[in-house]
Amino acid sequence: MDRIPILKLGQALLVTIQVDMHDQLATALEEDLAARVVSSGARGVLIDISGLEIVDSFIGRMLDNIAAVSRLLDADTVVVGMRPAVAITLVELGLSLAGVRTALNVERGMALLSLSMADWGVGDDEDGD
Amino acid sequence: MATTKTVTDRPAERLEIRSSDDVVRVRQKVRVFAVESGLSLVDQTKIVTAASELARNTLDYGLGGTVDIQLTAAPRRGVRLTFVDQGPGIKDIELALRDGYSSGKGLGLGLSGARRLCNEFSIQSTPGAGTSVTIARWK
């Protein structure tokens, strides 16, 4: 079966979804990402959905699940690149993805991730005295 | 030699929905029709998303079926889709149309969400005999 590739970028994992995913592919991505977060020790997950022409309730739930599972595994998730028509449609569908952080593009998503990593003191020694 | 402009709806194109790959094919075919009908990008996205929800319902709850995809000329230019299955049917349609109601693994947004995304929505279901859902999005 096909798999969506997962790239490591510093402390983060980057997933770029470029194909119209069938449901099993989306489910496989959820499982692959959880395993990679643990095996790589990544602190952030960046999901680029700029290639997606639609996000239906199944893909919406996949994004929610990835964010929730990653949080349990000590990594923050940011979804980037959502198209305007997709955002409008998702809200009308009734899915606002309240549990998912978003950014306009990969660059801003990385910035958001490094900010939240800094909050947790990753790479910094900020002992209070 | 005068050419008459067609005002009737064109014949529908039928696709089978037997696997999740078929759901992807339905999305892609509906997109082609939506573009051809002249729908705006947002309206194309809405009808394709609604089609994805209903195709998945046909597969997961209706145990497979078909969709007829049609360009409409009247009342307005657009796309009309009819999903038909011979599955177990829906006992309580009012309940099934409620946000958050799900008899299966979904979020319960498929049917209610698809209705919100379209201009036209109708559903007929007979327990034990199957379900038919028709939606349309117009310009």
What pLDDT score was predicted for residue B104?
64
- A24 touching B (Cβ < 8 Å): yes
Give exposure, B67-94, as e/b (b: 16+ Cβ within 10 Å). bebbbbeeeeebbbbbbbbebbbbeeee
Chain A, window 90-109: residues with a beta carbon less than 8 angstroms from a chain B beta carbon = 92-95
Q: Is the pLDDT of residue A126 over 50?
A: no
For the segment B60-111, what is each residue's pLDDT rounded down to a tens digit?
A: 999 999 999 999 987 799 999 999 999 999 988 988 888 877 766 666 778 9
- Average per-residue pLDDT for chain B: 90
Q: What ipTM did this prediction achieve? A: 0.87
- Could you tell me where the beta strands, DSSP code E, fall in B4-108? 13-17, 65-72, 78-85
User: What pTM was estimated for this model as a whole?
Assistant: 0.89
Percent of the residues in chain B that have a pLDDT greater than 70, as a whole number: 89
Percent of the residues in chain B that have a pLDDT greater than 90, as a whole number: 74
Q: How confident is the model at residue B3 (pLDDT cuts 50, 70, 90)?
A: very low
**At B103, which helix (H) or strand (E)?**
none
Of the residues A58, A83, A95, the best mutation for testing chain B's interface (the one with the most B CB atoms within 10 Å of its CB) is A58
Tell me which CATH code domain B13-138 carries. 3.30.565.10
Residues of B in contact with A27 (CB under 8 A): none
In three-state secondary structure terms, A113 is helix
Residues of B in contact with A24 (CB under 8 A): 20
- B116 touching A (Cβ < 8 Å): yes
What pLDDT score was predicted for residue A48?
97
The average pLDDT across B26-55 equals 97
State the Cα–Cα distance between residues A127 and B60, nearest whole angstrom.
53
Q: What is the DSSP string of A54-72?
A: ---HHHHHHHHHHHHHHHH
**How large is the angle between the packed helices A57-72 and B41-60, nearest 10 degrees?**
80
Q: Is the pLDDT of residue A129 over 60?
A: no
Q: Which domains does chain A have, with CATH numbers?
A: 6-115 (3.30.750.24)
The average pLDDT across B19-39 equals 96
For the segment A36-95, what is each residue's pLDDT rounded down to a tens digit?
A: 999 999 999 999 999 999 999 999 999 999 999 999 999 999 999 999 999 999 999 999
What pLDDT score was predicted for residue A125?
45
State the Cα–Cα distance between residues A60 and A96, nearest whole angstrom.
9
Whether residue B39 contacts residue B47, with contact meaning beta carbons closer than 8 Å, is answered with yes
Task: For residue B49, give the nearest of A61, A84, A93 by CB distance.
Answer: A93
